[in-house]
Amino acid sequence: MPVRQVAPHSFYVEGVLAESSRANQGFMSNAGFVVTPAGVVVFDALGSPALAERLLEIIRARTDQPIRRVIISHYHADHFYGIPALRAAGAEIWARTEARAYLNSDAAQRRLAERRKSLGPWLGEHFTLPLPDRWLSADESFTLGGVSFQLQRVGPAHAPEDLVMRVEPDGVLYSGDVLYAGRVPFIGEADAGHWLQALDRLRQIPAHVMVPGHGPASFHPADDLGLTARYLRFLRGEMARAVADFLPFEQAYARTDWTPFAQLPTFEIANRANAYNVYLQMEQDALQP
Ligand SMILES: [Zn+2]
């Protein structure tokens, strides 16, 4: 589990760039931790209690301070399944109320069934979907050991509840899955239009470093925000044009010149599904009166 320090108090562990699998034990997302003289704040819980145990060892190797709080960026399996281990270590878990809709959904149960199959040994026999100790319904800030933490909802973007954490004086923003540095994002079911609005909100938050939910930290947040925004705008523009021309998706995809983004690391695995998702969204938009 590679650990990186990005500022005096701020660290993160970096998951591999891949889908969750038995081979990587589900370690394909990042988790952050901020060490203060009065305790540790963790951002995201990784994809299993076993992974969160390893994160705890890494934190223990750096400080004797207790883990006070865990802030969950959004309720996707790779970011919250590790909660039980962190709670057992004494931390209080905070998450946004919008995550309730996901917890009560069939999608959450289907994901759990799939992860039990693929990550069973690391989830443990009695694993159930872990709830937070505290539901947040407004933006919050607090100070711990002279370090200030600002929690702000920027979603709906990647998920309805997307929450980011700003740490000062470090100038660090933990951005969850709303920002991907130097790569093509996985849009999934998300609405690309809402996502663009979230990027605008993110742009208002001053930070020298952004630690995303996947992949390396960005030391040029404005550039990376710009790249993600350009990509989303491009997808929406091309797919809207295709819908207006009554072009089927396959032809729309084939005629699009993807050159500006084709060199990015996750283009091959993410772009086609992203384009299809946005095509469907544009079709829906066109049907709105
Ligand atoms: Zn994720």
pLDDT digits (tens, 9 = 90+) for 156-208: 999 999 999 999 999 999 999 998 888 888 888 889 999 999 999 999 999 99
- Sheet containing 31-36: give its strands across: 3-5, 10-13, 31-36, 39-43, 67-71, 92-96, 134-136
Residue 35, beta-bridge partner list: 40
Where do the structural domains in the chain lie, given as residue ranges? 3-220, 232-287
For ligand 1, the distance from its centroid to the CA atom of residue 159, given in whole angstroms, is 10
Residue 282: predicted pLDDT:
95
Residue 226: predicted pLDDT:
92
CA gap 192, 100 in Å, rounded: 22
For ligand 1, the distance from its centroid to the CA atom of residue 51, given in whole angstroms, is 15
**183 contact partners, CB below 8 Å, separation of at least 6:** 17, 215, 264, 265, 266, 267
Its pTM stands at 0.92
Alpha helices in the chain (DSSP H): 49-60, 77-80, 83-88, 99-103, 106-123, 192-203, 221-244, 249-255, 267-287
**Pairs from 253-259 (Cβ < 8 Å, separation ≥ 24):** none
Residue 80: predicted pLDDT:
97
In one-letter notation, the amino acid at residue 199 is L
Mean pLDDT on 5-27:
90
For ligand 1, the distance from its centroid to the CA atom of residue 73, given in whole angstroms, is 9
CA gap 144, 116 in Å, rounded: 36
Band of residue 135 on the pLDDT scale cut at 50, 70, 90: very high
Residue 125: predicted pLDDT:
87
Residue 26: predicted pLDDT:
87
Distances (CA, A) of 32 to 59, 91, 149, 179, 289: 10, 14, 13, 15, 44
pLDDT tops 80 at residue 273:
yes
Dihedrals phi, psi of 196, to nearest 5 degrees: -60, -40
CA gap 34, 225 in Å, rounded: 23
For residue 132, the 8-state DSSP code is P
pLDDT digits (tens, 9 = 90+) for 96-115: 999 999 999 999 999 999 99
For ligand 1, the distance from its centroid to the CA atom of residue 20, given in whole angstroms, is 10
What mean pLDDT value characterizes the chain? Answer: 94
Residue 21: predicted pLDDT:
84
For ligand 1, the distance from its centroid to the CA atom of residue 172, given in whole angstroms, is 19
pLDDT tops 80 at residue 289:
no
The residue with tokens 């704040």 is: 41
For ligand 1, the distance from its centroid to the CA atom of residue 206, given in whole angstroms, is 23
For ligand 1, the distance from its centroid to the CA atom of residue 253, given in whole angstroms, is 26
Just give the CATH number of 3-220: 3.60.15.10
Residue 288: predicted pLDDT:
82
For ligand 1, the distance from its centroid to the CA atom of residue 62, given in whole angstroms, is 26
For ligand 1, the distance from its centroid to the CA atom of residue 247, given in whole angstroms, is 32
Of residues 120 and 19, more confidently modeled: 120
For ligand 1, the distance from its centroid to the CA atom of residue 213, given in whole angstroms, is 6
For ligand 1, the distance from its centroid to the CA atom of residue 32, given in whole angstroms, is 13
Residue 76: predicted pLDDT:
93
Residue 24: predicted pLDDT:
85
For ligand 1, the distance from its centroid to the CA atom of residue 220, given in whole angstroms, is 21
Residue 257: predicted pLDDT:
97
CB 163 within 8 A of CB 134: no
For ligand 1, the distance from its centroid to the CA atom of residue 66, given in whole angstroms, is 26
Angle 267-287/192-203 helices, nearest 10 degrees?
Answer: 110
Q: Lowest mean pLDDT: which of 13-22, 202-211, 272-281?
A: 13-22
For ligand 1, the distance from its centroid to the CA atom of residue 15, given in whole angstroms, is 10
